[in-house]
Structure 1
């Protein structure tokens, strides 16, 4: 009788332990699934989004809005180029949305790569098919001169700032061409490609889109006499395979 009672007690203890283990496992699995498909949390270390988001803030990302991004974790850990899939979202990115995205230049500005473990948080100014300009510090989209894009107070401050007041190395901007002379106060026009767009590559387009074309094709390209080349083959036009 005593042995039977001990076996019953042991059985109850094991049953409780198994239930606790199963419960904890389900909680962990549920949390991981929610992190993948439902939300992400990020700590903000810099002031680039001030005053909307300040250093030290934590932000929660709503993944179902645009759709969760899915990729092979092991390929990402090995530093390989990963194939990304996205679950369907219930909305799409709009002008002035604050978005979180993977860093496209983790190892320098000369090449587009995706670091799947580091993210930026920024405000979306332009969408696929838009033409972006900066005119005396103010963002302009397409032919719209009325709507405000970005942080209007910061743009007002920039418009009143002289070139001499801007630190060296910050004034000149992408693509770093002295003929274009684009800078943080006056930039563009720059067309933002949409999937399926076929663009003729003149001198300016070659400078703007070279890195994107390299990323999409996986080929290392070079510029010779203002023409883009893949080996010995000139590229005079290109059809984009992604939205930007």
Structure 2
């Protein structure tokens, strides 16, 4: 009899479930399922800028794997679903930072390798001037001063997993020594020239000023990438090395050479040290920190490793007299707790990357870019907006 009673009650409860309740249940289930997939398995990502051309184009839509390097457990667990750090309409925070979890990561299929295309949180995105987020808050302070910037803008802080998402190529991993000379990157002393996926500025001198620039379209070069200098016979264009080889074959071309910035000219780049006059084409050598690696602490090394030791690894760092103190103790060396990476865009002169803000800590890594599932050219005509040849293309 009890069984019949409970069966009737169960049937009655089912009947009471309205269509609205069914829709609510379905939506809640879908949101939870999609959130789990997005956090632990795979996430969609859009290319917003040309920093990775020609590998990735503006308007490419990617899938980013969280499984390859191991999914990062949410560090800010209380957040609005599908919003990153800002609500789309109100512009308010899309998360509550009252609860913060330590960095943890599930086991992955592999470690980050050199030349992987990686999505990560912007390392200098811990502090943000809301009204002017490009350049970064730290660039604003360097170009002005702390008091002026903090009085002019609304300043906020963001947890690691709520900082802007960037996508770049991993040039070096922990323990590597990276440098760049005349636009060519070297890893551990071995030159690594850009392949067909990368772009650099080239200076082209023509034999005549009567040029039909439409011929450059055939090799994949945009007319907008060609700029005239003060000399009417000389132009600067952004191209890959393979494009440069094709241009060199034109009978109206006198010469074409890479237009790297001269060594010794200070570009105001990482580590922002007046004793290091580095620029986008000439910098280093820099040794990338690895977990368990010990470095000597002195006036030469601290400009490079200061932010990693203080900000990324959470230590109190002070300079007292001629010595450095870490957590109130005189330090002559430091052993790193995390692995770090050196990330750069393939479009070398149009990329804000590690040359500007230094190392990417492992706790900032979001995932590995897998493939392009859609590509949309906003500048093309209506019937040619979809780049069909790029659909479902893998990322190398």
TM-score, normalised to structure 1's length? Answer: 0.78
CA contact (8 A) 1:220 1:230 kept: yes
CA root-mean-square deviation: 3.5
2:49 to 43, 46, 55: 46
Per the alignment, residue 173 of structure 1 pairs with 269
CA contact (8 A) 1:100 1:121 kept: yes
* Distance change (3 Å), C-alpha of 1:38 and 1:229: same
CA contact (8 A) 2:177 2:288 kept: yes
Q: CA offset at residue 242 of structure 1?
A: 0.4
2:124 to 91, 97, 105: 105
CA contact (8 A) 2:76 2:159 kept: no
* Distance change (3 Å), C-alpha of 1:179 and 1:113: farther
Q: CA offset at residue 16 of structure 1?
A: 7.7
Q: Secondary structure at the match of 2:190?
A: coil
Question: Is 2:309 aligned against 1:213?
Answer: yes
Per the alignment, residue 200 of structure 1 pairs with 296
2:113 to 61, 84, 94: 94
- Gaps spanning 5+ residues in structure 2: where? 1-11, 80-94, 128-136, 142-156, 203-237, 239-256, 341-396
CA distance in 2 between counterparts of 1:242 and 1:231 reads 18
Q: Secondary structure at the match of 2:39?
A: helix
Question: Is 2:71 aligned against 1:73?
Answer: no
Paired positions, count: 231
**Which of 1 and 2 has higher RCO (CA within 8 Å, sep 6+)?**
2
CA contact (8 A) 2:294 2:334 kept: yes
Per the alignment, residue 170 of structure 2 pairs with 124
CA distance in 2 between counterparts of 1:162 and 1:144 reads 19
* Distance change (3 Å), C-alpha of 1:12 and 1:218: closer
Question: Is 2:187 aligned against 1:141?
Answer: yes
126-135 or 34-43: which moved more? 34-43
Q: Secondary structure at the match of 1:77?
A: coil
Question: Is 2:259 aligned against 1:161?
Answer: yes
* Distance change (3 Å), C-alpha of 1:114 and 1:29: closer
* Distance change (3 Å), C-alpha of 1:196 and 1:162: closer
Per the alignment, residue 26 of structure 1 pairs with 29
CA contact (8 A) 1:206 1:226 kept: no
CA distance in 1 between counterparts of 2:280 and 2:104 reads 34
The superposition leaves residues 42-62 of structure 1 with CA deviations (integer Å, 9 ceiling, x where unpaired) of 222222122222223222101
Per the alignment, residue 6 of structure 1 pairs with none
- Gaps spanning 5+ residues in structure 1: where? 1-9
CA contact (8 A) 2:182 2:261 kept: no
CA distance in 2 between counterparts of 1:188 and 1:36 reads 36
Per the alignment, residue 4 of structure 1 pairs with none
CA contact (8 A) 2:41 2:65 kept: yes
Q: Secondary structure at the match of 1:69?
A: coil
